Amino acid sequence: MAISCSVDRDTPSSIMAISLFALIRTSTPSEMLQQSCSAAQTGLEILRTRLLPSTVIRSACTGTLQLKEPLNFWCGGRVKPSTKDARPSEPVYEPATGRVLCEMFPCGPAEVEQAVQSAQSAFKTWSQMSGMERGRVMLEAARIIREQREEIANMEVINNGKSIFEARIDIDIAWQCIEYYAGIAGTLAGQHVQLPGGSFAYTRREPLGVCVGIGAWNYPFQIAAWKSAPALACGNAMVFKPSPMTPVTAVILAEIYAQAGVPEGLFNVVQGSAETGSLLCLHPGVAKVSFTGSVPTGIKIMEMSAKHVKPVTLELGGKSPLIIFSDCSLENAVNGALMANFLSQGEVCCNGTRVFVQRDILEPFLEEVVKKTRGIKIGDPLQEGTRMGALISKPHLDRVLGFVRQAKQQGATVLCGGEPYVSEDPKLKSGYFMSPCVLSNCTDEMTCVKEEIFGPVMSVLPFDTEEEVLQRANNTTFGLASGVFTRDVSRAHRMAAKLQAGTCFVNTYNASPVEMPFGGYKMSGFGRENGTVTVEYYSQLKTVIMEMGDVESPF
């Protein structure tokens, strides 16, 4: 049975009080009028009801939910598609069933203009608030996410296909990120420098303005939080474009920010594909673009942003090495290899898919990793015991399976998996499932070793010496992540220093604490997300020089 409904948002009085306090505390009457981006002002039909009530999302089962609500969000509410110059809608699929979940209406020039104007209006108020005031509102947003954790995770699973076990972790990382930057917001400060004669200089760290975030489909809600939290903490506004394949949960984040008390239009969501992204990158009112996705798209975003000399943050693809030395804890190394390859159905940009194993432990490693890989439970991603859900789409599933076929043709051995998985559950028959795959007898020249597959495919390669594996590991155009398993502390530090990647995991893999920066070397991008350093990518530094005496002039 399909479920489609819309109810009024139930806003607790305590939250309304906090939101009202934030508004009165920081705004003059004229600024409060500027914050109102009403339907009367814009000619739009703004919906201020929740996308779906909590009870519906919590009770949803795989294959039962159908969304008919608008998925664009600006001016503090969801915006109905314009009938004038409307673009054709695009179907959004539920990966576990292959059925249509909703229709996505892409934004054109008029809608992008409205969203940017909405953000510019909110920026005038938000940028004048103190860091402590901004932080309080962000803490409230983090609290609401914790409160709604289960329904957000359920919606993420339905739209993305990953297991509910992983989705809950993603939502936790999202609120932790917002909470972390809420704490940083009040610490943003400049530097004071004493100059001769009683004069002095100081620096001011100022917001950029309207920032654009362009997300990926593998971590829809988490990426929206990773991009918006530092931007908002620094005093910016944001227009966020999620992937057209996962448009839903970014809207929930927008609703949560609004509920927490941000000015109307501070965080906006525009739906669309390449055209919409291009409009955002080329818009003269946009001050910065942060993108997560493929290298080719990242290059295009750099080119478009360069036309207005906009700073960009690019988190792009990877083909990361995981190096396992013979002195490691074999059990930990096997678990690390599974974490490095099979989280989120292998659809993780920093995955360690080139697994280099020192030759004298190759056989026991393969035996254990194959045994554990065969034990991974595939199935309904909303079921508690499931550990591998569905890939994002049918074309992507076919692409990943094509890599496995090509690997076999090039001489690799499939030790397990690499085939379509057909569930006994009737509702999952058309889902985009495959069995996780381990390839042996791989060589550095094979396509499966050189190109990013973005699926549950592990390529295992033997090596003999530290010097040899270091050279092979760095022989790639990518540089997003790397990993080392060894008990030798000196070796661990040597490898971490010499591996050409933005992150090096030692005796673990795919840990992502929000306190630590994340980003790539080489063609995996530049700029960082998370950690205190990200403040530098969402702010600009102004120098002020104060002369306290007379001006000396040679003229």
Q: Which residues are catalytic?
A: 315
Asked if 518 and 315 count as a contact pair (C-beta separation under 8 A), the reply is: yes
Dist CA 132 CA 526 (whole Å): 30
Dist CA 307 CA 552 (whole Å): 41
Q: Which amino acid is at 123?
A: F
Asked if 524 and 478 count as a contact pair (C-beta separation under 8 A), the reply is: yes
Residue 330 burial by Cβ neighbours in a 10 Å radius (0-12, 13-18, 19+): middle
- The owner of tokens 């990647």 is 501
CA-closest candidate to residue 502, choices 483, 515, 520, 490: 520
Asked if 294 and 453 count as a contact pair (C-beta separation under 8 A), the reply is: no
Q: Which amino acid is at 168?
A: R
Angle between helices 131-147 and 13-26 (to 10 degrees): 160
Asked if 4 and 66 count as a contact pair (C-beta separation under 8 A), the reply is: yes
- In this structure, what token pair is assigned to residue 334? 């096997």
Asked if 22 and 32 count as a contact pair (C-beta separation under 8 A), the reply is: no
Dist CA 350 CA 519 (whole Å): 9
Cβ contacts of residue 252 below 8 Å, gap of 6+?
51, 148, 152, 155, 221
Dist CA 229 CA 168 (whole Å): 19
Q: Which amino acid is at 43?
A: G
Asked if 434 and 391 count as a contact pair (C-beta separation under 8 A), the reply is: yes
60 vs 52, 121, 156, 429, 477, CA distance in Å? 11, 37, 12, 19, 43
Strand partners of residue 239: 212, 268
User: Pairing state of beta strands 503-506 and 457-463?
Assistant: unpaired
- In this structure, what token pair is assigned to residue 309? 């000399």
Asked if 502 and 482 count as a contact pair (C-beta separation under 8 A), the reply is: no
